[in-house]
Structure formats: structure tokens, C-alpha cells
Amino acid sequence: MSECSNNKKTLMFPKPTLERLKLYLALLLQEEKEYISSDEIAKKLKITPEQVRKDISYLNFVGKPKVGYHIPSLLNELNELFGVDVTDNVIVVGAGGLGTAIAKYKGFKRIGIDIVAIFDNDEDKIGTFVSELVVLPLSELQRVIKRFKVKIAALCVPKESAQEAADLLVKSGIKAIWNFAPAILHVPPGILVENEDITRGILSIKHMLEKNK
């Protein structure tokens, strides 16, 4: 495991570990107790307790033998790791079904995400409300990004216009694109793209159902 020398005492995590740490974060947000054991985490997430302990050992964090992990402290650690303790202003591009669903979703505040604007280029949508946000034209994009120091955009346009919208976002200073369009985006180096292809989950289900027939 390679170490990432950094001003903080940050370590690099194996990728699977990082994925599981997200699951631990989601799980702990649901817990109301003060302590939790590796065994309990493991049971709920259907993995082994050894793996849980190993994963947590990558964090700058120790548990109490005979008691388990102190949930608030572990949450602090995970929050810091994923930057949940810093709030990012996020914009949504595309006010269709998915875009409005994301703009309305209440669960983001808890993980340090604040949706500050939603955009569309459909005249009929511009000016209408999505929760307490007014749908803005794309001509406002650059101004809003600057004004709210927006680094992240959720891209929720049809796949035909995804690349064009991505280019515009990059030109306007966006650093990361959370891409809900089923399209492969080409972006300059240094720009982060996270593909959120909703069809992947259902493909797993179909594959499993098919296989176990």
C-alpha cells in the first residue's frame, strides 16, 4: 500500500476499502447508539468483521477493545475523509425528471452538498420553480458558478446534449461533473467526471435473476 505524503497524515486507501468506508458512513448516520462493534457493522453490510477492522485501521482512528468503535468519533473521521464537513455549492444542469428530483432531494445537506441553482435551456421551464429554486437559462451559468464558487455540477440533460453541456461547464470553470447522462464525456485533464449510470444497478439485478433461474 503506497503512502501519500501530504501535509496532513493522510494515507492512500485501497479502492475497495474506500468504497466500503462510504457504506460505513451511510450506516453510522442511521445508528443512534454510542458504540458499534466490527461484528455488528459486518453483519449489517454482509462482509466479515476482519475486513471492517482492517478498513478502519487505514483511518487515523482506534476502537476500544471489548466495546467497539465510538460512533460520533468515527463519523467525524469519515466526514473529514470525504469532505462532508465542508459544504460545497452544487448546480444542477437539466430540469427534467432526474434533474428536478436531484434538486429537490433533502438528503444532500447532511453530506455537505447545497444545491444552489438549476438550469435548463427550455423556454417553458425557465422561470418555473423547483422547490425554492427558479430554473435559470444556461446564459446565467458562468455568473452563478463564479458568484457561488461552484466546483461541482450534476449533469442531468439528455445524452444527445451531454457533451455540449459538459464543454460549457468546463469553460465556465467547473471542476467536477457528476454525470447522470448515459454518455461518455470527454473533458480536459484535471476535470473530474463521476458517472452515475442508473442502468448499472438494474443490470446487476437482471443478471442475478437470470443466473439463478
Partner DNA sequence: TAGATTGTTAATCGATTAACAATC
Q: According to the annotation, is 42 in a ligand binding site?
A: no
Pick one of DNA, its own copies, none as the site partner of residue 68 (Cβ within 5 to 8 A by kind). Answer: DNA
- Do strands 129-130 and 133-136 pair parallel, antiparallel, or not at all (unpaired)? antiparallel
Contact indicator for 52, 42 with CB cutoff of 8 Å? yes
Nearer to its own copies, 112 or 137 (CB): 112
Query: With binding defined as CB under 7 A, does residue 192 bind DNA?
Result: no
Q: According to the annotation, is 95 in a ligand binding site?
A: yes
Q: Phi first, then psi: give them for residue 112, nearest 5 degrees.
A: 75, 35
CB of 5 to its own copies, least distance (A): 12
Nearer to DNA, 39 or 114 (CB): 39
Burial label for 5, CB within 10 Å (0-12, 13-18, 19+), is exposed
Give me the amino acid identity at 116. Answer: V
Out of 4, 5, 10, 16, point to the residue binding DNA (CB under 7 A).
Answer: 16
Query: With binding defined as CB under 8 A, does residue 84 bind its own copies?
Result: yes
CA 142 and chain centroid, separation: 23
70-76, long-range: CB < 8 A, 24+ apart: 70/34, 70/35, 71/28, 71/31, 71/33, 71/34, 71/35, 71/36, 72/34, 74/24, 74/28, 74/36, 75/25, 75/28, 75/29
CB of 139 to its own copies, least distance (A): 26
CA 193 and chain centroid, separation: 11
- Do strands 35-36 and 69-70 pair parallel, antiparallel, or not at all (unpaired)? antiparallel
Out of 47, 112, 137, 148, point to the residue binding its own copies (CB under 8 A).
Answer: 112
The DSSP call for residue 48 is -
Out of 71, 111, 126, 187, point to the residue binding its own copies (CB under 8 A).
Answer: 111
What x-and-dash track marks residues 67-86 binding DNA by CB under 7 A? xxx-----------------
> Residues forming the annotated binding site for NAD(+)?
94-99
Binding stretches for its own copies (CB under 8 A)? 4, 10, 18-19, 22, 25-27, 29-30, 44-45, 81-84, 86, 88, 90, 96-98, 100-102, 104-105, 107-108, 111-113, 151-152, 159, 175-176, 178, 182-184, 192, 194, 196-211
